[in-house]
């Protein structure tokens, strides 16, 4: 017993001491909890939810009655989640996680000449109205993630954001809510999870006050990370700031505030919290947060993100809400366990009730309890108990000190098996009542009535149906087009200037003030199912003056960065340049006529591995690429306005690509450190994208996860460079999932398929003579016929886990090219291998290309060997291989003199240019005699090349060649190439083979 | 040295990419520099320049240059030794025609050398025409690819032998 008493002691909290006393009183058998209304307690301010980051995008599209049913589950008192508080994003035309939310003043002209329709953009106004309609007492709250680019002046986004313009922009939002929607805004934040600016907080206060909005309270400053309550210290030292701010709010604080925050005398909130999931695991964490944020941190309100999962699965942090409404085409929705755990508080206490601190305690056997008292004369009580850390049942004895009279105590319970079940009322026994609580459960005990587990029928889930067409005629001008989810820019329905009905317009013509956690990508908007496979997506498009338009397909992911979507994109600009890309990799590009001011037809077709792009019904490119086998469709532009019409997605017939198998799933994994057991390395290979590994607190650099897939002989080390996300843990390196996929269409595991691909490449496409090349697939050392070191790690361990794409192109006249590219998802380094073969010749030549497609300098790239082969066919006799080398030409009688050098075990033969002149010391072409033929190597580089040949064991021969020394970084956008390497081989003996006719 | 450089580079490079200048008018020098491109580095207006000889060499070059872009075979190993011979073969399988360049270095004590031609059709007959004497021999391909005994009486000495597939 002493053990659990000891564990209950958390010295920083009064409630822990109370728990200790309770435990001592209980003597191990029962836990005595006194419901003493005279004990102090803060005012409860409610449980809230946050509609932001475009997380509610699809809800508005729901048909009736399902849309109203979902809204009832969210906001209707004593029905479902019954949120007390709704916080919404002030749209800034920037991506704030799962898309862009439109602003009510996109330009200064719109700001100075507002029109009613500007205040009907997006869905937050509508959501505020619907929430207040269901619960007139609901509290409303607003916060910015970014802002339109016209706001403010200065060089940096921060200078522009913290401006009088922006304070006025906020005031216009608040006034618009009242004027056009009848909604009063109660609270206003600063800049979500972005360092605040004290003078501007005061300026905002003054601006609100001058605008007769003194009743709007400022919440500051919604920070996360290592010091989320920093503003409390600044308020203590600055009376003006203290007066300007009414509420302290911080994000993902792990149940704790600080003494400084509490000492300000202000109300203290967990102003964004949540497990980002609605299943029972998410529900467990919510139950903890709602109770412990008060018990341990004295926070009186908890606001969770997101309000509802009403966004596509392809977007960041999928399924974050307590219920799902992401199928507006079917009307299907799901009320998840998290909804009912929220109801355990929201249906039992209202803002204005007071905590009864004598009964707000940590439970000695694991869990917590809060008690609340109504301010009404009836003096109602509700008690919420959660036992999420408990291993054994606990018996709680509540002593009511004569306050309950003869009213019965009603009990509601949730656990993993069943949620929000009404239990038998508790009998009052001498003014006390006893409850035995099971582990991993939530209980609400109350003297109030009227709670309800709301119910309505949801239609079955249905895949987004094909074909799908939208001519935008049935949408409202100025609003979104149905089901489109903007990830950059804002796409709004408009009247066509030619009078032919309506079209869709991308309206944002430049970068805005971004949320630093998610720089906005170039405009694109997604629609449809991530399970669409073989289809054609087409549309009419028109660029008014200059710029680009694009059509997208097979999009599987929209990254939380300025990168484009992970999928295919065909873009065409008014400069005539077109490109077909897979993510950032260019599959094909060229020039065509694409004039501004007229409508053009764009189309992308996907059939198996064949990707075809067309403009005005003319084929621009048709390539083979297996990177993305399925995914959503979409439209896009550059940073320019453009129009779209007659959007159409039609199914095509094509081979069904095999479902990729994540080879890393189920592998063994270890890491350099871990945050705790809930964030260990195994969560990076469990196949669940909602779980992740995090390094230990303070471990910020060179953190790694090793995975040992069962099919790979060598381990993969994933070094995590990106720090992403916005909770405290995510301020350290994190890794959601290591994914190593089976090669598409090959029917082989990827590792084998890589070797197979190179074998086929060397034979591709006209001759099988290169099958006789004395290479040793799978190569004993190298999987690829080249190598390099990146950030200290060899390419053979990196490339297998980088996303890859490949393609071929028949150039005619017996010449064919074939390429493969890998991109480091962490740094954007793209490595492209492009080879060329000639019909009738046993040759293959290639170039390696390194390009920084990221936004920061790359780590060091070094030791590039454009050729790195392992041969395993030794000669019989003393020397396993013979090198036929040729002297360079130093202008003496030995110019170009050949020599034959036996290559013995453990000796290295080196060749190189002299003084930077390609054939001064050694000639850059050489031959290797092997037991099964000869191999000719040519290094095409008019500079300091080098080659080395080494047989480590008398059986294998490693041949490397390339530029002699490489050690550099690439700035964003920079690109370098390697020497061109030519391999020429035959199965015949060396001297019997001619140099071919030209 | 010209023979040696051409021999080495021809291992890797087509003959139209390598060349060495021809400064003299003798057959040995002419044959030693035969590549697909000929660079006459003569001083044609020098006193005593043998213009007719130069014209004859150019005519000879024009007559065989189509063979120099054919497949290249080394018939004897590379050597800069004055005691050795060198020999290479060009062949155009598309034309059924080729040639042999043969060199006896200045101090070679050997009057004959045996080589085996490459790339011929074993069952066909070939006409071998020897530039030095103007004689023509008719030989089966199989025999030529087995062994061919060649002689040069002078040292240094050289020979250019054309080899043409002939009708039965």
The pLDDT tens digits of the residues spanning A778-830 come to: 223 335 778 899 988 878 777 767 787 777 777 888 787 878 888 998 899 99
- List the single residue in A with minimal CA-CA distance to B75: A991
Please indicate whether, in this complex, the C-beta atoms of A998 and B69 are within 8 angstroms of each other. Answer: yes
- List the single residue in B with minimal CA-CA distance to A996: B71
- Is the distance from CB of A979 to CB of A945 less than 8 angstroms? yes
Rounded Cα–Cα distance for residues A344 and A453 (Å): 10
Residues 90-109 of B with CB under 8 A from A: 91-94
Residues 858-917 of A with CB under 8 A from B: 884, 886, 893, 895-898
Question: Which residues from chain A sit within 8 angstroms of residue B14, using beta carbons?
Answer: 995, 998
Please indicate whether, in this complex, the C-beta atoms of B119 and A994 are within 8 angstroms of each other. Answer: yes
- Closest CB to B71: pick one of A893, A896, A996: A996
Question: Which residues from chain A sit within 8 angstroms of residue B74, using beta carbons?
Answer: 991
Q: What percent of chain A has pLDDT over 70?
A: 85
CA-based nearest distance A925→chain B, Å: 7
Please indicate whether, in this complex, the C-beta atoms of A992 and B16 are within 8 angstroms of each other. Answer: no
Mean pLDDT of A536-550: 96
Q: Give the number of other Cβ atoms within 10 Å of residue A626's Cβ.
A: 21
Q: What is the pLDDT of residue A155?
A: 87
Q: What is the pLDDT of residue A750?
A: 34
- List the single residue in B with minimal CA-CA distance to A990: B11
Q: What is the pLDDT of residue B145?
A: 94
- For the question of residue A193 being annotated catalytic, the response is yes
CA-based nearest distance B2→chain A, Å: 10
**Contact B81/A at CB under 8 A:** no
- Is the distance from CB of A187 to CB of A84 less than 8 angstroms? no
Q: What is the pLDDT of residue A983?
A: 83
CA-based nearest distance B64→chain A, Å: 15
Mean pLDDT of A421-432: 84
- Strand, coil or helix: what is B113? strand
Question: Which residues from chain B sit within 8 angstroms of residue A895, using beta carbons?
Answer: 1, 5
Closest CA to B69 of B89, B88, B86, B92: B92
Rounded Cα–Cα distance for residues A735 and A274 (Å): 19
Rounded Cα–Cα distance for residues B163 and B138 (Å): 9
DSSP character at residue B31: H
Please indicate whether, in this complex, the C-beta atoms of B11 and A925 are within 8 angstroms of each other. Answer: yes
- Is the distance from CB of A568 to CB of A554 less than 8 angstroms? yes
Q: What is the pLDDT of residue A894?
A: 84
Q: Is the pLDDT of residue A182 over 50?
A: yes
Rounded Cα–Cα distance for residues A750 and A608 (Å): 18
Q: What is the pLDDT of residue A671?
A: 81
Assign A622 a pLDDT band (cuts: 50, 70, 90): very high
Here the tokens at position A176 are 């618009």
Q: What is the mean pLDDT of chain A?
A: 85
Q: Tokens 């790359």: give the residue.
A: A858
Q: What is the pLDDT of residue A441?
A: 98
Here the tokens at position A490 are 């804002």
Rounded Cα–Cα distance for residues A682 and A210 (Å): 55
Please indicate whether, in this complex, the C-beta atoms of B1 and A896 are within 8 angstroms of each other. Answer: no
Phi and psi at A4, nearest 5°, equal -70, -25
Burial class (CB in 10 A: 0-12, 13-18, 19+), A772: middle
Q: What is the pLDDT of residue A991?
A: 33
- Is the distance from CB of A923 to CB of A886 less than 8 angstroms? yes
Q: What is the pLDDT of residue A729?
A: 54
Assign A689 a pLDDT band (cuts: 50, 70, 90): low
Detail the DSSP E strand segments found in A43-117.
Answer: 46-51, 85-90
Rounded Cα–Cα distance for residues A235 and A267 (Å): 13
Rounded Cα–Cα distance for residues A321 and A282 (Å): 9
Question: Which residues from chain B sit within 8 angstroms of residue A991, using beta carbons?
Answer: 74
Please indicate whether, in this complex, the C-beta atoms of A995 and B8 are within 8 angstroms of each other. Answer: no
CA-based nearest distance A983→chain B, Å: 12
Q: Is the pLDDT of residue A956 over 80?
A: no
Q: Is the pLDDT of residue A443 over 60?
A: yes
B29-55 pLDDT, tens digit each? 999 998 878 888 898 888 889 999 999
- For the question of residue A379 being annotated catalytic, the response is no
- Strand, coil or helix: what is B79? coil
Opening angle at CA B11, ends A878 and A954, nearest 5 = 20
Assign A690 a pLDDT band (cuts: 50, 70, 90): low
Question: Which residues from chain A sit within 8 angstroms of residue B73, using beta carbons?
Answer: 994
Here the tokens at position A842 are 């046993």
A217-241 pLDDT, tens digit each? 999 999 987 789 999 999 999 999 9
A908-950 pLDDT, tens digit each? 899 999 888 888 899 999 999 888 778 889 998 878 999 999 8
Identified catalytic residue from A101, A193, A492, A929: A193
**Contact B17/A at CB under 8 A:** no
- Is the distance from CB of A522 to CB of A621 less than 8 angstroms? no
Q: What is the pLDDT of residue A768?
A: 25
Least confident range from A241-255, A724-738, A753-767, A805-819: namely: A753-767
Question: Which residues from chain B sit within 8 angstroms of residue A997, using beta carbons?
Answer: 69-71, 92-94
Q: What is the pLDDT of residue A491?
A: 98
Opening angle at CA A981, ends A978 and A985, nearest 5 = 165
pTM: 0.64
Identified catalytic residue from A45, A272, A440, A492: A272
Q: Give the number of other Cβ atoms within 10 Å of residue A530's Cβ.
A: 19
Q: Is the pLDDT of residue A552 over 90?
A: yes
Please indicate whether, in this complex, the C-beta atoms of A898 and B1 are within 8 angstroms of each other. Answer: no
Least confident range from A506-515, A712-721, A834-843: namely: A712-721
Q: Tokens 């701010």: give the residue.
A: A245
**Complex prediction ipTM:** 0.86
Q: Is the pLDDT of residue A719 over 60?
A: no
B144-164 pLDDT, tens digit each? 999 899 999 999 999 999 999
A458-510 pLDDT, tens digit each? 999 999 999 999 999 999 999 999 999 999 999 999 999 889 999 999 999 99
Question: What is the total residue count of chain B?
Answer: 168
Q: Is the pLDDT of residue A625 over 90?
A: no
How far from each other are the two terminal CA atoms of chain A, in whole angstroms? 92
CA-based nearest distance A844→chain B, Å: 15
Rounded Cα–Cα distance for residues B42 and A58 (Å): 86
Q: Is the pLDDT of residue A347 over 70?
A: yes
Please indicate whether, in this complex, the C-beta atoms of A896 and B119 are within 8 angstroms of each other. Answer: no
Q: What is the pLDDT of residue A680?
A: 86
Q: What is the pLDDT of residue A453?
A: 97
Assign A656 a pLDDT band (cuts: 50, 70, 90): low
Higher-confidence residue of A626 and A117: namely: A117
- Closest CB to A893: pick one of B74, B80, B92: B80
């Amino acid at each position: 017993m002493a053990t659990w008493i000891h564990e209950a002691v958390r010295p920083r909290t009064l409630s822990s001491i109370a728990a200790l006393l309770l435990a001592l009183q209980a003597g191990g058998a029962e836990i005595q909890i006194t419901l003493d209304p005279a004990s102090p307690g803060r005012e409860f301010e409610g449980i809230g939810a946050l509609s932001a980051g475009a997380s509610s995008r699809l809800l508005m599209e729901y048909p009736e009655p399902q849309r109203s049913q979902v809204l009832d589950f969210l906001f209707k008192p004593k029905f479902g989640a019954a949120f007390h508080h709704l916080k919404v994003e002030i749209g800034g035309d920037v991506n704030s996680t799962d898309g862009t939310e439109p602003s009510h003043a996109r330009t200064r002209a719109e700001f100075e000449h507002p029109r009613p329709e500007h205040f009907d953009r997006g869905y937050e106004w509508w959501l505020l109205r619907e929430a207040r309609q269901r619960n007139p007492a609901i509290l409303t709250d607003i916060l910015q993630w970014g802002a339109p680019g016209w706001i403010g002046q200065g060089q940096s986004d921060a200078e522009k954001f913290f401006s009088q313009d922006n304070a006025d922009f906020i005031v216009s939002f608040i006034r618009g809510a009242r004027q056009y929607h009848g909604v009063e805004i109660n609270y206003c934040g600063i800049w979500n999870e972005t360092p605040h600016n004290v003078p501007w907080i005061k300026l905002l206060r003054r601006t609100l006050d001058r605008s007769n909005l003194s009743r709007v309270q400022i919440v500051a400053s919604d920070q996360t990370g290592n010091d989320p309550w920093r503003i409390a210290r600044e308020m203590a030292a600055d009376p003006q700031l203290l007066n300007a701010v009414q509420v302290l709010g911080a994000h993902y604080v792990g149940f704790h505030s600080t003494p400084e925050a509490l000492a300000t005398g202000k109300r203290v909130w967990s102003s964004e919290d949540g497990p980002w999931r609605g299943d029972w695991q998410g529900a467990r964490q919510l139950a903890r947060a709602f109770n412990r944020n008060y018990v341990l941190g004295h926070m009186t309100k908890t606001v969770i993100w997101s309000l509802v999962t009403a966004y596509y699965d392809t977007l960041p942090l999928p399924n974050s809400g307590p219920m799902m409404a992401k199928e507006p085409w079917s009307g299907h929705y799901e009320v998840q366990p998290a909804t009912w755990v929220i109801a355990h508080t929201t249906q039992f206490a209202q803002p204005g009730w007071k905590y009864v601190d004598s009964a707000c305690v940590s439970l000695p056997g694991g869990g917590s309890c809060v008690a609340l008292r109504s301010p009404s004369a009836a003096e109602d009580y509700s008690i919420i108990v959660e036992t999420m850390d408990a291993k054994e049942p606990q018996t709680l004895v509540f002593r009511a000190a004569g306050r309950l009279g003869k009213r019965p105590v009603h009990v509601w319970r949730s656990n993993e098996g069943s949620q929000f079940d009404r239990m038998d009322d508790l009998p009052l026994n001498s003014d006390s009542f006893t409850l035995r609580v099971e582990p991993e459960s939530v209980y609400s005990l109350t003297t109030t009535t009227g709670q309800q587990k709301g119910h309505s029928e949801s239609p079955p889930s249905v895949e987004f149906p094909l074909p799908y067409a939208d001519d935008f005629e049935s949408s409202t001008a100025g609003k979104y087009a149905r089901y489109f989810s903007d990830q950059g820019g804002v796409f709004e329905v408009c009247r066509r200037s030619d009078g032919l009905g309506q079209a869709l317009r991308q309206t944002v013509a430049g970068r805005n003030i971004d949320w630093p956690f998610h720089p906005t990508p170039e405009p694109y908007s997604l629609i449809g199912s991530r399970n669409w496979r073989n289809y054609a997506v087409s549309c009419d498009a028109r660029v008014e003056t200059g710029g680009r338009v694009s059509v997208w397909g097979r999009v599987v992911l929209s990254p939380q960065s300025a990168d484009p979507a992970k999928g295919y994109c065909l873009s065409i600009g008014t400069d005539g340049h077109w490109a077909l890309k897979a993510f950032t990799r260019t599959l094909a590009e060229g020039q065509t006529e694409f004039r501004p001011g007229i409508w053009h037809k764009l189309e992308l077709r996907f059939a198996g591995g064949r990707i075809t792009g067309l403009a005005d019904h003319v084929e621009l490119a048709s390539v083979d690429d297996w990177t993305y086998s399925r995914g959503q469709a979409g439209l896009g532009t550059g940073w320019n306005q453009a129009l779209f019409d007659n959007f159409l997605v039609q199914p095509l017939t094509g081979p069904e690509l095999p479902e990729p198998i994540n080879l890393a799933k189920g592998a063994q994994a270890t890491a350099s450190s871990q945050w705790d057991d809930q964030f260990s390395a195994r969560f990076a290979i469990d196949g669940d994208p909602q779980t992740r590994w995090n390094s230990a607190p303070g471990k910020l650099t060179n953190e790694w996860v090793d995975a040992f897939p069962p099919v790979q002989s060598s381990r993969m080390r994933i070094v995590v460079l990106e720090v992403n996300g916005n909770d405290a843990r995510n301020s350290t390196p994190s890794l959601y999932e290591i994914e190593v996929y089976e090669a598409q269409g090959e029917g082989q595991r990827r590792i084998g398929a890589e070797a197979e691909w190179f074998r086929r490449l060397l034979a591709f496409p006209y001759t099988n003579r290169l099958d006789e090349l004395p290479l040793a697939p799978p190569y004993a050392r190298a999987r690829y016929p080249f190598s390099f070191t990146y950030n200290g790690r060899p390419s053979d361990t990196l490339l297998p886990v980088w996303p890859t794409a490949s393609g071929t192109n028949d150039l005619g006249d017996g010449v064919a090219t074939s390429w493969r590219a890998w991109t480091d998802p962490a740094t954007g380094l793209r490595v492209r291998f492009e080879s060329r073969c000639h019909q009738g010749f046993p040759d293959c030549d290639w170039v390696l290309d390194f390009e920084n497609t990221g936004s920061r300098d790359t780590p060091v790239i070094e030791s590039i060997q454009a050729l790195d082969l392992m041969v395993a066919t030794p000669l019989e006799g003393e020397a396993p291989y013979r090198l036929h080398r040729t002297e360079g030409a130093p202008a003496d009688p030995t110019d170009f003199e050949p020599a034959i050098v036996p290559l013995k075990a453990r000796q290295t033969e080196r060749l190189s240019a002299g003084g930077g002149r390609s054939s001064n010391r050694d000639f850059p072409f050489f031959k290797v005699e092997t037991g099964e033929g000869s191999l000719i190597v040519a290094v095409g580089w008019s500079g300091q090349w080098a080659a080395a040949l080494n047989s480590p064991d008398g059986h294998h021969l490693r041949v490397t060649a390339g530029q002699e020394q490489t050690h550099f970084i690439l700035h964003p956008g920079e690109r370098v190439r390697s020497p061109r390497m030519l391999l020429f081989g035959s199965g015949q003996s060396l001297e019997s083979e001619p140099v071919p006719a030209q | 040295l010209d023979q040696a450089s051409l021999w080495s580079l021809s291992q890797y490079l087509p003959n139209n990419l390598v060349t060495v200048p021809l400064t003299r008018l003798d057959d040995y020098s002419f044959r030693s520099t035969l590549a697909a491109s000929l660079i006459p580095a003569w001083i044609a207006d020098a006193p005593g320049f043998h213009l007719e000889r130069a014209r004859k060499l150019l005519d000879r070059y024009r007559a065989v240059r189509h063979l120099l872009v054919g497949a290249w075979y080394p018939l004897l190993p590379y050597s800069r030794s004055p005691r050795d011979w060198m020999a290479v073969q060009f062949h155009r399988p598309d034309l059924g025609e080729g040639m042999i360049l043969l060199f006896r270095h200045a101090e070679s004590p050997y009057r004959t050398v045996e080589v085996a031609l490459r790339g011929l059709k074993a069952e066909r007959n070939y006409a071998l025409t020897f530039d030095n004497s103007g004689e023509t021999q008719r030989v089966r391909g199989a025999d030529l690819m087995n062994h061919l005994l060649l002689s040069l009486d002078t040292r240094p000495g050289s020979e250019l032998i054309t080899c043409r597939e002939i009708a039965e």
